[in-house]
Amino acid sequence: MDAMGVELGGLEAIRPSLWAATALWSLGLMWGLSPLHRRLQEGWEKQLAWDPSGALASLLSVLPFLLAAAVVVALTELSLGNSWAVSWGLIACVGGGLYELGRRDNAR
């Protein structure tokens, strides 16, 4: 095991910065596109009527945002370098959170 992550088959596959960047980007995208997230969750709740708590629907509605975040992180690391994905993920998270607060304030 390397200090920067785990090597699997000669590839640098798992680094803590990748996990952090993906989580931040996913949260930022989820907040920034909250109406889409809400529609996805409601659609999954209708499809999975046997799950009364809606926990599985909630998990399934997050998957598209995780996949999009992984693509954004990969593109950011390819274009700007390893350290920028976390920085831009934090900016996306703050921007998405501010957008969500403003959207909720206008809805009142």
Task: Give residue 42's pLDDT.
Answer: 81
Task: Give residue 69's pLDDT.
Answer: 94
Residue with the two structure tokens 């499809």: 47
Among the listed residues 28, 24, 20, the one whose alpha carbon sits nearest the alpha carbon of residue 4: 20
> Residue 24 has which token pair?
């931040």
Q: Return per-residue pLDDT of the chain as tens, 108 residues.
A: 555 555 555 555 677 888 899 999 999 998 888 888 888 888 877 877 776 776 777 788 888 989 999 999 999 988 988 788 899 999 999 999 999 889 887 877
Among the listed residues 101, 92, 51, the one whose alpha carbon sits nearest the alpha carbon of residue 84: 92
